[in-house]
Structure 1
Amino acid sequence: MFKGIHTQIVFALCACWCSLVCATAMAKTAQPPLRFDHQVFDHGADVRRLGGINRVIQDHQGFMWFAGSSAGLGRYDGSVLKLYQHDPNDITSVPDNFVWDIAINSQGHLWVATGRGICEYKRESDSFYCPQSFAGSKAVIRGASALLFDDQDRLYVGTHTTPYRIDFNNNTLQEFDLSTRNGEMLLNNTVWDIEIGPNGNIWFAISRLGIVRLSPSAKHAEIIQTSCKKKAAQQTTFYTLAFDHSNHLWAGTNGGGLCWIDPTNNAHEKVFWPNTLLGGSHNAVVRDLHVNNKGEVWASVGHQGILVFDQNKQLLAHHTHSSGRPSSIQSNQTRSVFEDKNNDMWIGLFPFGVDFIDRSREHIRTYKNNAMDPKSLSNNAILTVFEDSKNSIWVGTEFGLNRLNNDGTFKRFIAEPGNPHRLQANAILSIAEDQNGFLWVGTWSGGLYHFDPDSETFKHYGPQANNPNSLGDSFAWGAFIDSKNRLWVGSEGAGLQQYRKDSDDFVHYKNNNGQDNAISNLYVLHITEDKKGDLWLATYYGLNHFDPETKTFTSWQGDKDDPTKLSSSIIKSLLYSTDNYLWVGTHDNGLNRFDPNTGAVLRIGLDEGLPSSTVSSLLEDNAGNIWVATSNGLARIHPETFKINIYSEGVGLAGINYNRNATLAARDGTLYFGSTEGLTAMAPNALTLKESWHPIHITEFRVSNKIINIGKDSILKESTLTSDNITLEHSHGMFSLDFSVLSYRFPGNYEYAYQLEGFDKNWLYIGHRNTAIYTNLNPGTYSFKVKARVPGEQWQQRARTLTLVITPPWWRTYWAYCLYTLLFLGFIYGIYCIGRLKRTSDNYRHLAATDPLTGIYNRSGILLVVEALRQNKNNDKTQTQATLIIDIDHFKKINDTYGHAVGDQAIQHVVDTLQKNIRKEDYLGRWGGEEFIILVQLASKVALQQFGDDLCHAVENTPMQLDNATPLQLTVSIGGALHHTNEPFDSTCQRADEALYVAKESGRNRFCGAND
């Protein structure tokens, strides 16, 4: 009887627990959706070749490894995806291109499970060792499906028949006895997953039998009975296991649901995923489970995306692909889940691809317009942001007013011409709230509106021809309620105006006939208030102080040449900070900290670290930091040290062009920044770099643009990842090194600098490029160093160092010099002088081959490259050498209009654009003036045409930004020719040049190929 009561209690608890999970899961939360980064997809064909990603893991050096189902393994460093595939002629390659699993022990040794056995990756040789036996057993050659290392670095291997354990220290292999008491074998199908649980028990997820537990002290295995099953007529397959932080076991199946098991008493409960989320839990195939550092259970569910169950909050979130949201997961067919050393998440997908989730930006939310979603932001161009007394966030855009709802959606208020109770203009410039909870909404060309949030009705105020006390004009840039509940309005051409509630009209404060104590300019963009209740106005001609009691103005004009004055008279933004300073942002000359008591000014501009001279908006966070929104990103200024942190592209912001006064520090501490590309909401510390695991590695080494493989007879005896030195012969005239920061939060956004000690006198800062090239170095020992940083942050103190030794030719060896000394003792000094002159000549030769303006090859350098390529016998025979000659269109007009300094900038801009759109194996040089040359290897004339067209489009679509001016649109004309066999290089250039003139005569901004 007691057993029956106990069973009823357990079932009742199970039902209650499952009901709680389901109800909580279906409840909507205000949590933003996860942002999935598709950075790995940028590697195109290689990503597709890998196929479905069965496992993701990170090694001790920081590389990400992907177990593919079509092309072996992929190793990713944030810049390059390197594939490791089966080669039937190479026993050091992976034995099979279908990789089931990856495991890494405490020493950093990486093992893979394939359909043809297990292999260890040898980092030093960049190859694989695949043992055929252990302790005389041949079991290793069977197909492996799962791997796991225990705390003693013993490797557990699951196969399609028998699991076993390998002890590498003792060279022993143990097969597990999984027979029942009556001798019947339990294992009759594939072991998909292995976990080691409490008390050292080994847990297996097996296709047909489900969950099997083997205790080290027991003689027999035990099948764990669960309610995780399909319908009676169908067979349930168990794919994955994971222990949570409470040592409870989670198990995923192919339609039987997700089991939760307490290993201490074998009590188990089943989590049924709500039908509203998955469209039927019996169709859900849980491929992989991962419990992250927060205790969240992540489940990859085939065809149905990712499920995240927060055990602490009892919340279930479902993340699926949405064609209307680019940051959603790339595919609903998920295969694997992994958490890296920075606690970021990786999702392996099918039929190919890996998605990345930067957990450091969980507190950053971005809102943008979605044309298919009427509850999204009405427009991406944000003009103002405001918080009312009920903590509601209001967003004014170029197309309507928006109220942000708790669930992350928006309520839109769009103009309805002809309806007197609705907006009549859509560009919302300013918002204010009076003590009665009514909003005052300023618009562009539509005047001012009184808005009742309860009835959602608008009352219009605009200029009236016969009423001098009506609103001064239709452009209400600044609507502001002061501490005494007085409404002030700043207009585009009517100065400052005060609303009178009793008469429902406005008092105007203008500069009549230039009298003293009047406003300095009628264009008022922004209004703020100091602690005394006085107003400060940002105008297009000076900063104005207004005393509401005496109705008088005091103004300050700027002088860029006088450091004691404001840096400019065109004021765009104001902030009165808690330390009683007035921060003044200008349109064209940076930021000023103004002391209202003394008039003292402290300037902060480009030289001090601001990303732009245009300061559109300002706010102060709860720690006293000043945030500066500019036309080129955000800056955060420490109020005491004045240290500036810059945040630009790649940190998760919804755009970096802030051209309007659209920032807000909400009462809960959230900061809002409105740009031309959407709205960003974040905690003040959300952009702080918390990433602590980002080493720099030298990933590739090339000689004459050919990757050098590791080998006994090769230059590289050991991988550049582990080697500290490389020895080169003097004949290796041109070599290059590729390097990468193993950071996945900021891929492509790191800036690099390198120095070859013994040759480079200073660090060479090369921006986002990650390759160093050297030619014709003298024999000797050099130390190559490379460092990196995220833009706006400090350079990393630690740098990767590699020693390069260039051996001399035989006639410059020690014994040769001894022979020379014996034979020509009298000429020692002359030989020394000749050697010194040669070293100097080599240095000049290096300088002579480089264009000083752009840093690329000059004409002489390109000719050296041509000669080196022609002498290279290892060229790909399926490719043909091609030459492209490029000319900047209307370059003389640029020089005549903007001057030669801008002309030089245009040349550098075109070079930067071309470098971003050519391959690493291509060569770019400056042929002369505004002409450039590119040497490429291409398969056909069609490929040449496509290559040339892509370059034209890249330059056309990358305008050059001029200071305080409209971006300069640049285009190029290109002529190209494929090299004929044994054709002189100057002949090919001539044909390419003739094609260039055809391109110019055909209208420019195009590519033309030479006739054969």
Structure 2
Amino acid sequence: MLTLLSPTKICKFLLIGLFVFFLPMVLSAQNIFPEKINICNTLNFCIDCGNPKATCDQFTLDYICDKINRKYILKDAYGSISFQVLVEPTGFSCVLSHTDVTNTPITVELIRYLNGNIWRPAIENGKPVFSSVVVVFRFAYGRISAQMQRVDLTELKPPGDPVIYNKKTVYANPSLKTYEFTTWTKYNSPLPDNVSRSCAIDKSDILWYASAKGITRFDGENFNAVNEFNSPFTSETAVSDITVDKDNNTWVYANNKMYRYNDAGWQIYDFKKFLASGVTRILHSRHGELLFTTKDGLVVLRKDKVVLLNKKRIPKLPSNNIYYAFDDSQKRLWIGTSKGTIMIDKEVITNFNTSDTPLKNVYISGAAEDEKGNLYFSLVDCNETAGDNDKEGIAVLKTNGRWLHYNDKNSGMPSNRVNDMLYDKNEHLLWIGTDQSGIVRFDMKDGWENYHNNNSAMPGHTIYQLVQDSKGVIYATTANGLLRLRKK
């Protein structure tokens, strides 16, 4: 909720509507934001096209912001509004659409200012053309600021069809109607980038969304940027990985450095001698350790004591190149390397390359455990090949020691490459994020369901990470935006 105090009244409005919309192929004129304004006199324009593209001076946008800052008290204002502005060949402008679903007075005022600007039109083949551009106004720290945001046309195109290798299973998806899908992108929200391979939920149910173009925090209603004003990072720092540990510390790996955030603020951890080759994953254990996967081994941090697990320390480790690690409720440590997987149970080490299990000659890339102690592992073939690989999929270790292996040939898995898994203790089922086929809902009693952009309100079919808050709400980072999956 954004509160704007004027000399005469208080205006409250939600900057970002919670909506899902799909965009057609961007080959012709279209309004890209949900709030349409039907006053412009053309149906023929391209989106952010031309060389050069349509633009106006930053001085002009700063002037608009100055007018708003002088008129309104923005102390408690936060969020953003995006406007799609049509720029005519003559340089005159007209707002086509925007993201403020409540159409508040400040939005009306911004539209008036934008419509009164003189712009430099886009040029194509030496001639000025009709083109639309995006301007984003952001509210933070008691002020409004603005900048143009260039549109990536590939991100506006539909994500394409999911790849379903499983041709035998008919997905009735009876539970689909019981969920509410909401999607945010950088075009309908302050999300820094549509692609995120890493996110985390802290104990206040704040989602930390990390991307190659910055970090933002989301409390379920509002986005708050993590930038140079409140952190060691800029608004466009490329973040490699992020997690929240057992003690509610947020750990961020960026700029080849490790950072920790808690109530005391930000702190840099100097692990250079252990992390010289760089960190690929930050993982937290249920027993309090932090696990950093590197090409030189697994770095374990516990109460400021650092230990490096590598082939020198553990000769049975197949490789120093660590991809994933997981400790289960029995304090067994599972380590996936580029050349296979091992499990350390006190002093006993099991190398699965010599076993007759689904883990033979594969490495684990993710893991989950249910309340009964059954373990679930996503698998990647050590000799990775293009296309579908039946050695991959999901391996399950039952509490009785029995192994199961699910792939798209013997189960309801739509495809075999899995990016992440989440065990839902509220519904007692497994959520699986696939690389090509969307999300899989695996209910051990009722079977398999598969949700993607062709059968649901999902933004796409590539799922990178799944997290869940204390209320059971699931967030998924994808190649096409941030997805929230909430029980109705």
Query: Scaled by the length of structure 1, what TM-score is found?
Result: 0.27
1:950-1004 deviation digits (Å, cap 9, x = unpaired): xxxxxxxxxxxxxxxxxxxxxxxxxxxxxxxxxxxxxxxxxxxxxxxxxxxxxxx
**Residue number in structure 2 paired with 1:545:** 396
CA distance in 2 between counterparts of 1:378 and 1:488 reads 35
**Residue number in structure 2 paired with 1:773:** none
Taking structure 1 as reference, are residues 546 and 510 closer, same or farther at Cα in structure 2, changes over 3 Å only?
farther
Taking structure 1 as reference, are residues 392 and 83 closer, same or farther at Cα in structure 2, changes over 3 Å only?
closer
Amino acid at match of 2:252: V
- 1:756-835 superposed matches below 5 A: none
Please point out which of 225, 230, 233 is paired with 1:366: 225
CA distance in 1 between counterparts of 2:335 and 2:276 reads 18
Taking structure 1 as reference, are residues 624 and 79 closer, same or farther at Cα in structure 2, changes over 3 Å only?
farther
Amino acid at match of 2:362: L
The alignment-based identity, stated in percent, is 18
Please point out which of 418, 429, 434 is paired with 2:281: 429
**Residue number in structure 2 paired with 1:867:** none
CA distance in 1 between counterparts of 2:484 and 2:111 reads 30
Answer yes or no: is the 8 Å Cα contact 2:295–2:321 preserved in 1. yes
**Residue number in structure 1 paired with 2:71:** 56
Please point out which of 401, 405, 419 is paired with 2:258: 401
Instruction: Classify the secondary structure of the residue corresponding to 1:483.
Output: coil
Answer yes or no: is the 8 Å Cα contact 2:465–2:478 preserved in 1. yes
Answer yes or no: is the 8 Å Cα contact 1:491–1:525 preserved in 2. no
Amino acid at match of 1:498: M
**Residue number in structure 1 paired with 2:324:** 478
Answer yes or no: is the 8 Å Cα contact 1:377–1:410 preserved in 2. no
CA distance in 2 between counterparts of 1:360 and 1:81 reads 33
Amino acid at match of 1:429: R
Answer yes or no: is the 8 Å Cα contact 2:422–2:467 preserved in 1. yes
Instruction: Classify the secondary structure of the residue corresponding to 2:248.
Output: coil
CA distance in 1 between counterparts of 2:443 and 2:478 reads 22
CA distance in 1 between counterparts of 2:114 and 2:236 reads 38
CA distance in 1 between counterparts of 2:311 and 2:430 reads 32
CA distance in 1 between counterparts of 2:115 and 2:371 reads 57
Unaligned runs of 5+ in 2: 1-14, 16-54, 74-101, 119-138, 148-217, 381-391
2:352 is equivalent to residue 509 of structure 1: yes
Answer yes or no: is the 8 Å Cα contact 1:526–1:538 preserved in 2. yes
TM-fit CA distance, 1:506: 3.5
CA distance in 2 between counterparts of 1:319 and 1:43 reads 23
Please point out which of 405, 410, 422 is paired with 1:555: 405
TM-fit CA distance, 1:321: 11
**Residue number in structure 2 paired with 1:186:** none
**Residue number in structure 1 paired with 2:249:** 392
- 1:675-754 superposed matches below 5 A: none
Answer yes or no: is the 8 Å Cα contact 2:440–2:450 preserved in 1. yes
Taking structure 1 as reference, are residues 492 and 384 closer, same or farther at Cα in structure 2, changes over 3 Å only?
farther
TM-fit CA distance, 1:57: 6.7
Please point out which of 357, 367, 371 is paired with 1:531: 371
TM-fit CA distance, 1:52: 5.7
Answer yes or no: is the 8 Å Cα contact 1:378–1:412 preserved in 2. no
Instruction: Classify the secondary structure of the residue corresponding to 1:80.
Output: helix
Instruction: Classify the secondary structure of the residue corresponding to 2:224.
Output: strand
CA distance in 2 between counterparts of 1:596 and 1:402 reads 39
- 1:571-970 superposed matches below 5 A: 571-577=418-424, 578-597=426-445, 600-607=447-454, 608-639=456-487
1:299-326 deviation digits (Å, cap 9, x = unpaired): xxxxxxx9x9xxxxxxxxx86999xxx9
Please point out which of 283, 301, 304 is paired with 1:451: 301
Query: Larger strand proportion, structure 1 or 2?
Result: 2
Taking structure 1 as reference, are residues 591 and 80 closer, same or farther at Cα in structure 2, changes over 3 Å only?
same
- 1:290-439 superposed matches below 5 A: 363-367=222-226, 380-388=238-246, 390-397=247-254, 399-406=256-263, 409-417=265-273, 422-433=274-285, 435=287, 437=288, 439=289
Amino acid at match of 2:318: G
Taking structure 1 as reference, are residues 447 and 82 closer, same or farther at Cα in structure 2, changes over 3 Å only?
same
1:537-559 deviation digits (Å, cap 9, x = unpaired): 01121111023652x42111125
TM-fit CA distance, 1:633: 1.0
CA distance in 2 between counterparts of 1:53 and 1:377 reads 25
TM-fit CA distance, 1:392: 1.9
Taking structure 1 as reference, are residues 506 and 631 closer, same or farther at Cα in structure 2, changes over 3 Å only?
farther
Answer yes or no: is the 8 Å Cα contact 1:375–1:410 preserved in 2. no
CA distance in 1 between counterparts of 2:327 and 2:365 reads 15
**Residue number in structure 2 paired with 1:498:** 343
TM-fit CA distance, 1:609: 2.6
Taking structure 1 as reference, are residues 413 and 446 closer, same or farther at Cα in structure 2, changes over 3 Å only?
farther
1:615-636 deviation digits (Å, cap 9, x = unpaired): 1111223333332211121112
CA distance in 2 between counterparts of 1:372 and 1:634 reads 23
CA distance in 1 between counterparts of 2:371 and 2:452 reads 27
**Residue number in structure 1 paired with 2:32:** none
TM-fit CA distance, 1:423: 3.5
Taking structure 1 as reference, are residues 81 and 570 closer, same or farther at Cα in structure 2, changes over 3 Å only?
same
Amino acid at match of 2:450: R
Taking structure 1 as reference, are residues 434 and 372 closer, same or farther at Cα in structure 2, changes over 3 Å only?
closer
Answer yes or no: is the 8 Å Cα contact 1:606–1:612 preserved in 2. yes
CA distance in 2 between counterparts of 1:521 and 1:394 reads 32
Taking structure 1 as reference, are residues 580 and 529 closer, same or farther at Cα in structure 2, changes over 3 Å only?
same
Amino acid at match of 1:477: Y
Amino acid at match of 2:238: N
TM-fit CA distance, 1:403: 1.3
Amino acid at match of 1:614: T
Answer yes or no: is the 8 Å Cα contact 2:259–2:268 preserved in 1. yes
Unaligned runs of 5+ in 1: 1-34, 36-40, 67-74, 85-305, 309-317, 327-358, 641-1012
Instruction: Classify the secondary structure of the residue corresponding to 2:340.
Output: coil
**Residue number in structure 2 paired with 1:977:** none
CA distance in 2 between counterparts of 1:624 and 1:452 reads 29
Answer yes or no: is the 8 Å Cα contact 1:625–1:636 preserved in 2. yes
Amino acid at match of 2:111: D
Answer yes or no: is the 8 Å Cα contact 2:332–2:344 preserved in 1. yes
Taking structure 1 as reference, are residues 492 and 620 closer, same or farther at Cα in structure 2, changes over 3 Å only?
same
TM-fit CA distance, 1:583: 0.8
Answer yes or no: is the 8 Å Cα contact 2:340–2:361 preserved in 1. no
Answer yes or no: is the 8 Å Cα contact 1:449–1:458 preserved in 2. yes
Taking structure 1 as reference, are residues 529 and 43 closer, same or farther at Cα in structure 2, changes over 3 Å only?
same
TM-fit CA distance, 1:48: 6.6
**Residue number in structure 2 paired with 1:77:** 111
CA distance in 1 between counterparts of 2:329 and 2:417 reads 27
Answer yes or no: is the 8 Å Cα contact 1:378–1:400 preserved in 2. no
- 1:48-127 superposed matches below 5 A: 53=67, 55-56=70-71, 62-64=104-106, 75-77=109-111, 80-82=114-116
Instruction: Classify the secondary structure of the residue corresponding to 1:53.
Output: helix
Taking structure 1 as reference, are residues 416 and 620 closer, same or farther at Cα in structure 2, changes over 3 Å only?
closer
CA distance in 1 between counterparts of 2:299 and 2:235 reads 21
CA distance in 1 between counterparts of 2:224 and 2:65 reads 32
TM-fit CA distance, 1:527: 0.9
CA distance in 2 between counterparts of 1:76 and 1:377 reads 24
CA distance in 2 between counterparts of 1:386 and 1:46 reads 42
Taking structure 1 as reference, are residues 472 and 43 closer, same or farther at Cα in structure 2, changes over 3 Å only?
same
Answer yes or no: is the 8 Å Cα contact 1:586–1:616 preserved in 2. yes
1:851-885 deviation digits (Å, cap 9, x = unpaired): xxxxxxxxxxxxxxxxxxxxxxxxxxxxxxxxxxx
Amino acid at match of 1:411: Q
Amino acid at match of 2:352: Y
Amino acid at match of 1:624: G
TM-fit CA distance, 1:44: 4.6
